Structure 1
Amino acid sequence: MYELQGLKSEALEIYKEILKKDPQNGEARAAIHRLSGVRRHFPGVNETMKKFFVEMDSDAEFAEFERWLSRL
């Protein structure tokens, strides 16, 4: 989900945690490789949407976030 939102460094940290727990996880390893290259091209995070995502708790907020994602 983080990766789809453009939150590359957050996604990368989660994949690293997965790989620590399961060193044979090829999907996590591939994601780390992919994100390590992509991060250089997309610095920064949409902090407004990150905060909105972390704090959302209603169906209306989830729907709004989904609309935002579909525009990416």
Structure 2
Amino acid sequence: MDEAKELKQAYDIFTAAWRIYKAHYPPKDLKDDSYWSELAGVIEKTEAEYNCQLCRDVLCSVSTDLEHKAKK
């Protein structure tokens, strides 16, 4: 992959992660199964779209941060 395509993909990944984070913030109660199932579904779909380590790492961080905030 050339540099321009790689940067465009990284931009798209971070944009998708931001949209997921924004749409699911503030996080719901940890017992709200529908919220967490929906979040997991969106994350799985996005990860499948990009299918790269950067995407997995960024989306993992998004879900982890939302989970930490829900525990507070």
Structure of higher CA gyration radius: 1
TM over 0.5: no
TM category (shorter chain) comes to 0.3 to 0.5
> Which structure exhibits the higher relative contact order, with contacts defined as CA atoms closer than 8 Å and separated by 6 or more residues?
2
Q: TM-score normalized by structure 1?
A: 0.34
More helix per residue: 2
